[in-house]
Amino acid sequence: MTTSTPLPPSTLRARAERLRALVADGVLVLPNAWDAGSAAVIASAGAHAIATTSGGLSWSLGRGDGQRLDRATAVEAARRVVAAVDLPVTVDAEGGYGPAPADVAETVRALIGAGAVGVNLEDSTAVGGPLFTVAEQAERLRAARSAAEAAGLPELLVNARTDVFLFGLGGLDDVLVRAEAYAAAGADGLFVPGLLDLDALAALCARSPLPVNAMAVAGGPSVAELAAAGVRRISVGTALTQLAYTAARRAAAELLGSGVLTEPAGALGYGDVDALFHG
Protein backbone atom coordinates (compact mmCIF):
# COMPACT_ATOMS: atom_id res chain seq x y z
CA MET A 1 0.00 0.00 0.00
CA THR A 2 1.26 3.48 -0.83
CA THR A 3 0.77 6.69 1.17
CA SER A 4 -1.01 9.88 0.21
CA THR A 5 2.31 11.58 -0.52
CA PRO A 6 2.32 12.82 -4.15
CA LEU A 7 3.91 10.32 -6.48
CA PRO A 8 7.25 11.38 -7.97
CA PRO A 9 7.21 12.15 -11.72
CA SER A 10 9.30 9.08 -12.48
CA THR A 11 6.73 6.83 -10.81
CA LEU A 12 3.86 8.49 -12.65
CA ARG A 13 5.61 8.04 -15.99
CA ALA A 14 6.45 4.41 -15.24
CA ARG A 15 2.85 3.65 -14.30
CA ALA A 16 1.48 5.45 -17.35
CA GLU A 17 3.84 3.51 -19.60
CA ARG A 18 2.78 0.29 -17.86
CA LEU A 19 -0.89 1.09 -18.47
CA ARG A 20 -0.19 1.73 -22.14
CA ALA A 21 1.76 -1.52 -22.43
CA LEU A 22 -1.09 -3.52 -20.90
CA VAL A 23 -3.34 -2.42 -23.76
CA ALA A 24 -0.68 -2.66 -26.45
CA ASP A 25 0.49 -6.14 -25.45
CA GLY A 26 -2.83 -7.90 -25.00
CA VAL A 27 -6.28 -7.43 -23.49
CA LEU A 28 -6.59 -5.35 -20.33
CA VAL A 29 -9.41 -6.49 -18.03
CA LEU A 30 -10.53 -3.89 -15.50
CA PRO A 31 -13.00 -4.87 -12.73
CA ASN A 32 -13.94 -1.31 -11.78
CA ALA A 33 -13.35 -0.01 -8.25
CA TRP A 34 -15.51 2.52 -6.46
CA ASP A 35 -13.35 3.48 -3.48
CA ALA A 36 -9.99 2.78 -1.87
CA GLY A 37 -11.17 -0.43 -0.22
CA SER A 38 -12.57 -1.94 -3.40
CA ALA A 39 -9.41 -0.94 -5.26
CA ALA A 40 -7.26 -2.78 -2.72
CA VAL A 41 -9.48 -5.88 -2.91
CA ILE A 42 -9.43 -5.87 -6.72
CA ALA A 43 -5.64 -5.48 -6.69
CA SER A 44 -5.36 -8.44 -4.30
CA ALA A 45 -7.38 -10.54 -6.78
CA GLY A 46 -4.62 -10.10 -9.35
CA ALA A 47 -5.59 -6.99 -11.32
CA HIS A 48 -2.79 -5.40 -13.32
CA ALA A 49 -4.34 -1.92 -13.16
CA ILE A 50 -7.25 -0.20 -11.44
CA ALA A 51 -10.06 1.68 -13.17
CA THR A 52 -12.64 3.63 -11.21
CA THR A 53 -16.35 3.82 -11.98
CA SER A 54 -17.91 7.25 -11.59
CA GLY A 55 -21.27 5.70 -10.79
CA GLY A 56 -19.96 3.52 -7.98
CA LEU A 57 -17.75 6.29 -6.67
CA SER A 58 -20.70 8.70 -6.63
CA TRP A 59 -22.86 6.20 -4.74
CA SER A 60 -20.11 5.62 -2.18
CA LEU A 61 -20.20 9.37 -1.49
CA GLY A 62 -23.98 9.53 -1.22
CA ARG A 63 -24.52 11.08 -4.65
CA GLY A 64 -26.41 9.92 -7.71
CA ASP A 65 -24.60 8.99 -10.91
CA GLY A 66 -24.54 11.15 -14.01
CA GLN A 67 -22.03 14.00 -13.68
CA ARG A 68 -23.30 15.04 -10.25
CA LEU A 69 -19.89 15.17 -8.58
CA ASP A 70 -17.80 18.31 -8.50
CA ARG A 71 -14.18 18.23 -9.57
CA ALA A 72 -12.65 18.62 -6.11
CA THR A 73 -14.67 15.73 -4.65
CA ALA A 74 -13.86 13.45 -7.58
CA VAL A 75 -10.14 14.27 -7.43
CA GLU A 76 -9.92 13.57 -3.70
CA ALA A 77 -11.67 10.24 -4.21
CA ALA A 78 -9.17 9.39 -6.94
CA ARG A 79 -6.31 10.34 -4.63
CA ARG A 80 -7.51 7.82 -2.04
CA VAL A 81 -7.73 5.07 -4.66
CA VAL A 82 -4.19 5.79 -5.88
CA ALA A 83 -2.91 5.69 -2.28
CA ALA A 84 -4.49 2.27 -1.70
CA VAL A 85 -2.65 0.38 -4.46
CA ASP A 86 0.73 0.10 -6.14
CA LEU A 87 -0.77 -0.17 -9.62
CA PRO A 88 -1.56 2.20 -12.48
CA VAL A 89 -4.89 3.93 -11.82
CA THR A 90 -7.14 5.23 -14.58
CA VAL A 91 -10.01 7.46 -13.48
CA ASP A 92 -13.50 7.80 -14.89
CA ALA A 93 -13.65 11.58 -15.17
CA GLU A 94 -17.17 11.60 -16.65
CA GLY A 95 -17.53 14.66 -18.88
CA GLY A 96 -14.49 16.40 -17.42
CA TYR A 97 -16.46 18.34 -14.76
CA GLY A 98 -17.35 21.19 -17.04
CA PRO A 99 -18.24 21.69 -20.70
CA ALA A 100 -15.35 23.87 -21.85
CA PRO A 101 -11.92 22.64 -22.94
CA ALA A 102 -10.47 24.66 -20.07
CA ASP A 103 -12.61 22.67 -17.62
CA VAL A 104 -11.29 19.40 -19.01
CA ALA A 105 -7.72 20.68 -18.81
CA GLU A 106 -8.16 21.66 -15.17
CA THR A 107 -9.58 18.24 -14.37
CA VAL A 108 -6.71 16.44 -16.07
CA ARG A 109 -4.11 18.52 -14.23
CA ALA A 110 -5.80 17.81 -10.90
CA LEU A 111 -6.09 14.08 -11.53
CA ILE A 112 -2.42 13.83 -12.51
CA GLY A 113 -1.64 15.65 -9.28
CA ALA A 114 -3.65 12.97 -7.46
CA GLY A 115 -1.58 10.23 -9.09
CA ALA A 116 -3.86 9.09 -11.93
CA VAL A 117 -2.12 7.94 -15.11
CA GLY A 118 -5.22 7.47 -17.24
CA VAL A 119 -8.59 9.16 -17.69
CA ASN A 120 -11.92 8.37 -19.30
CA LEU A 121 -13.65 11.38 -20.88
CA GLU A 122 -17.16 11.00 -22.27
CA ASP A 123 -18.82 12.95 -25.05
CA SER A 124 -22.33 13.21 -23.60
CA THR A 125 -23.40 16.56 -22.19
CA ALA A 126 -25.86 14.85 -19.83
CA VAL A 127 -27.31 11.42 -19.14
CA GLY A 128 -29.26 10.43 -22.23
CA GLY A 129 -27.58 13.07 -24.38
CA PRO A 130 -27.23 15.12 -26.38
CA LEU A 131 -23.58 14.58 -27.25
CA PHE A 132 -21.01 17.26 -27.79
CA THR A 133 -20.50 17.75 -31.49
CA VAL A 134 -17.55 15.93 -32.97
CA ALA A 135 -15.60 19.18 -33.23
CA GLU A 136 -16.44 20.21 -29.66
CA GLN A 137 -15.37 16.88 -28.17
CA ALA A 138 -12.21 16.82 -30.26
CA GLU A 139 -11.28 20.21 -28.84
CA ARG A 140 -11.94 18.97 -25.31
CA LEU A 141 -9.69 15.96 -25.93
CA ARG A 142 -6.96 18.22 -27.32
CA ALA A 143 -7.19 20.21 -24.10
CA ALA A 144 -6.76 17.02 -22.09
CA ARG A 145 -3.69 16.02 -24.07
CA SER A 146 -2.14 19.49 -23.83
CA ALA A 147 -2.80 19.62 -20.08
CA ALA A 148 -1.09 16.26 -19.59
CA GLU A 149 1.95 17.41 -21.54
CA ALA A 150 2.11 20.66 -19.58
CA ALA A 151 1.85 18.71 -16.32
CA GLY A 152 4.87 16.61 -17.28
CA LEU A 153 2.93 13.43 -18.08
CA PRO A 154 2.57 13.23 -21.87
CA GLU A 155 2.21 9.46 -21.38
CA LEU A 156 -1.23 9.93 -19.75
CA LEU A 157 -3.63 7.44 -21.36
CA VAL A 158 -6.75 9.26 -22.57
CA ASN A 159 -9.66 6.89 -23.19
CA ALA A 160 -12.36 8.67 -25.19
CA ARG A 161 -15.83 7.37 -24.36
CA THR A 162 -18.59 7.86 -26.89
CA ASP A 163 -22.21 7.34 -25.86
CA VAL A 164 -23.57 6.91 -29.38
CA PHE A 165 -24.73 3.34 -28.69
CA LEU A 166 -25.41 3.73 -24.97
CA PHE A 167 -28.07 6.37 -25.58
CA GLY A 168 -29.18 5.19 -29.03
CA LEU A 169 -27.95 8.32 -30.79
CA GLY A 170 -26.52 6.75 -33.94
CA GLY A 171 -24.77 3.73 -35.36
CA LEU A 172 -21.40 2.33 -36.29
CA ASP A 173 -20.64 4.98 -38.92
CA ASP A 174 -21.25 7.73 -36.36
CA VAL A 175 -18.86 6.04 -33.93
CA LEU A 176 -16.19 5.75 -36.63
CA VAL A 177 -16.45 9.45 -37.47
CA ARG A 178 -15.88 10.22 -33.81
CA ALA A 179 -13.07 7.69 -33.54
CA GLU A 180 -11.17 9.37 -36.39
CA ALA A 181 -11.61 12.82 -34.88
CA TYR A 182 -10.77 11.70 -31.36
CA ALA A 183 -7.61 9.94 -32.53
CA ALA A 184 -6.50 13.08 -34.36
CA ALA A 185 -7.14 15.07 -31.17
CA GLY A 186 -4.77 12.88 -29.15
CA ALA A 187 -6.98 10.19 -27.64
CA ASP A 188 -5.40 6.79 -26.99
CA GLY A 189 -8.47 4.57 -26.82
CA LEU A 190 -12.15 4.43 -27.73
CA PHE A 191 -14.76 3.28 -25.20
CA VAL A 192 -18.17 2.35 -26.63
CA PRO A 193 -20.51 1.33 -23.79
CA GLY A 194 -23.77 -0.18 -24.95
CA LEU A 195 -22.22 -2.04 -27.88
CA LEU A 196 -21.97 -5.77 -27.22
CA ASP A 197 -22.94 -7.26 -30.58
CA LEU A 198 -19.83 -9.24 -31.46
CA ASP A 199 -20.15 -8.76 -35.22
CA ALA A 200 -20.53 -5.00 -34.83
CA LEU A 201 -17.64 -4.90 -32.37
CA ALA A 202 -15.45 -6.85 -34.76
CA ALA A 203 -16.29 -4.41 -37.56
CA LEU A 204 -15.53 -1.46 -35.30
CA CYS A 205 -12.24 -2.93 -34.08
CA ALA A 206 -11.17 -3.61 -37.66
CA ARG A 207 -11.81 -0.02 -38.75
CA SER A 208 -11.16 2.08 -35.66
CA PRO A 209 -7.86 4.00 -35.51
CA LEU A 210 -7.98 3.55 -31.73
CA PRO A 211 -7.96 0.42 -29.53
CA VAL A 212 -11.54 -0.36 -28.52
CA ASN A 213 -12.83 -0.69 -24.95
CA ALA A 214 -16.12 -2.53 -24.34
CA MET A 215 -18.18 -2.91 -21.18
CA ALA A 216 -18.83 -6.52 -20.18
CA VAL A 217 -22.22 -7.29 -18.63
CA ALA A 218 -23.77 -10.27 -16.89
CA GLY A 219 -25.03 -12.70 -19.51
CA GLY A 220 -23.14 -10.91 -22.28
CA PRO A 221 -20.07 -11.96 -24.26
CA SER A 222 -17.17 -13.36 -22.26
CA VAL A 223 -13.73 -11.82 -22.04
CA ALA A 224 -12.50 -14.40 -24.55
CA GLU A 225 -15.31 -13.58 -26.99
CA LEU A 226 -14.73 -9.83 -26.71
CA ALA A 227 -11.00 -10.34 -27.18
CA ALA A 228 -11.61 -12.49 -30.26
CA ALA A 229 -13.67 -9.63 -31.73
CA GLY A 230 -10.64 -7.36 -31.34
CA VAL A 231 -11.51 -5.54 -28.10
CA ARG A 232 -8.35 -4.50 -26.25
CA ARG A 233 -9.75 -3.21 -22.97
CA ILE A 234 -12.71 -4.60 -21.00
CA SER A 235 -14.38 -2.95 -18.03
CA VAL A 236 -17.60 -3.54 -16.08
CA GLY A 237 -18.82 -0.11 -14.98
CA THR A 238 -20.88 -0.24 -11.79
CA ALA A 239 -21.40 -4.03 -11.84
CA LEU A 240 -19.13 -4.86 -8.90
CA THR A 241 -20.48 -1.94 -6.88
CA GLN A 242 -24.01 -3.20 -7.44
CA LEU A 243 -22.95 -6.70 -6.42
CA ALA A 244 -21.39 -5.45 -3.17
CA TYR A 245 -24.44 -3.38 -2.28
CA THR A 246 -26.72 -6.29 -3.14
CA ALA A 247 -24.79 -8.55 -0.76
CA ALA A 248 -25.06 -5.94 2.01
CA ARG A 249 -28.80 -5.55 1.44
CA ARG A 250 -29.40 -9.31 1.48
CA ALA A 251 -27.45 -9.77 4.69
CA ALA A 252 -29.22 -6.83 6.35
CA ALA A 253 -32.65 -8.11 5.27
CA GLU A 254 -31.82 -11.57 6.60
CA LEU A 255 -30.71 -10.25 9.98
CA LEU A 256 -33.69 -7.89 10.27
CA GLY A 257 -36.10 -10.60 9.11
CA SER A 258 -35.25 -14.11 10.33
CA GLY A 259 -32.72 -12.84 12.85
CA VAL A 260 -29.95 -15.12 11.61
CA LEU A 261 -26.91 -14.27 9.53
CA THR A 262 -25.92 -16.79 6.87
CA GLU A 263 -25.34 -14.46 3.90
CA PRO A 264 -21.72 -13.58 4.85
CA ALA A 265 -20.67 -17.25 4.71
CA GLY A 266 -17.59 -17.45 2.53
CA ALA A 267 -16.82 -13.74 2.85
CA LEU A 268 -13.27 -12.50 3.14
CA GLY A 269 -12.09 -12.70 6.73
CA TYR A 270 -11.66 -9.59 8.86
CA GLY A 271 -7.93 -10.13 9.02
CA ASP A 272 -7.69 -10.66 5.26
CA VAL A 273 -9.36 -7.34 4.54
CA ASP A 274 -7.60 -5.42 7.29
CA ALA A 275 -4.23 -6.67 6.08
CA LEU A 276 -4.77 -4.91 2.74
CA PHE A 277 -4.33 -1.59 4.55
CA HIS A 278 -1.28 -2.43 6.61
CA GLY A 279 1.10 -3.27 3.76
What are the domain boundaries of the chain?
A: 9-239
The alpha carbon of residue 188 and the mean position of all alpha carbons in its chain are separated, in whole angstroms, by 14
Of 56-60, 165-169, 200-204, 261-265, minimum mean pLDDT range:
261-265
Q: Residue 1: pLDDT band by 50, 70, 90 thresholds?
A: very low
How does residue 25 score in pLDDT terms, banded at 50, 70 and 90?
A: very high
Mean predicted confidence (pLDDT) in 148-176: 97
Q: How confident is the model at residue 4 (pLDDT cuts 50, 70, 90)?
A: low
Is residue 278's pLDDT more than 90? no
Of all residues in the chain, the percent with pLDDT exceeding 90 is 94
Rg of the chain's alpha carbons, rounded to an integer?
19
Does the pLDDT of residue 194 top 90, yes or no?
A: yes
Amino acid 2: pLDDT? 41
Question: 205: which residues sit within 8 A by CB, 6+ positions away?
Answer: 212, 229, 230, 231, 232
For the stretch 231-250, pLDDT in tens is 999 999 999 999 999 999 99
- What average pLDDT does the segment 163-190 reach? 98
pLDDT tens, position by position, 109-130:
999 999 999 999 999 999 999 9
- Closest among 160, 161, 204 to 184, alpha carbons compared: 160
pLDDT band for position 279 (cuts 50, 70, 90): low
Dump pLDDT digits (tens) for 41-81.
999 999 999 999 999 999 999 999 988 999 999 999 999 99
Burial grade of 46 (CB within 10 A; 0-12, 13-18, 19 or more): exposed
Say if pTM beats, i.e. exceeds, 0.75: yes
CATH topology for 9-239? TIM Barrel (3.20.20)
Check if the beta carbon of residue 85 is closer than 8 Å to that of residue 1.
Answer: yes
